[in-house]
Amino acid sequence: MKAALQLAIEQAFQQAKRAMQEKRSADAFQWLERTHILTQRQPLLHARSHWLMLTLGWQIGDYREVAGQIPRIFAALLFSKIWVPIGNTGRSRVSAFRPMPVPEELQALLANDEPSPPSR
């Protein structure tokens, strides 16, 4: 993983946790959506984003969010390397199969993480 992407992921997880501790659920979900988009191809980190969404859902009493995150955690662990709906924010109110536009800022981070083609 490229350093810029790794740093962005770590910062987003830290910001999400801080917002969760400060009971700023809307901000926490925004940061977790960011981590979800950035980690979709990395099973453990992808599952971690869903786990934190489940935790936040529980914290605010949003049981629809909690129930929707349980299968997503397992899917993240099993299918992240095979197929993901690019740009999907990972929330329970969005279809788990729906691709979504990737914000430009995140596109740059994800593009830099792509493996370079072999040189000839």
Where do runs of H (alpha helix) occur along the chain? 3-21, 25-39, 43-60, 63-79, 104-112
Q: What is the pLDDT of residue 116?
A: 45
The predicted model gives 18-34 an average pLDDT of 98
The model's pLDDT over 62-114, given as tens digits with 9 standing for 90+, comes to 999 999 999 999 999 999 999 999 999 999 999 999 999 999 889 988 886 55
Mean pLDDT over the full length of the chain: 91
pLDDT-based confidence at 117, cuts 50/70/90? very low
Distance CA 116, CA 43 (A): 21
What ranges do the domains of the chain cover? Answer: 3-112
Strand, coil or helix: 66: helix
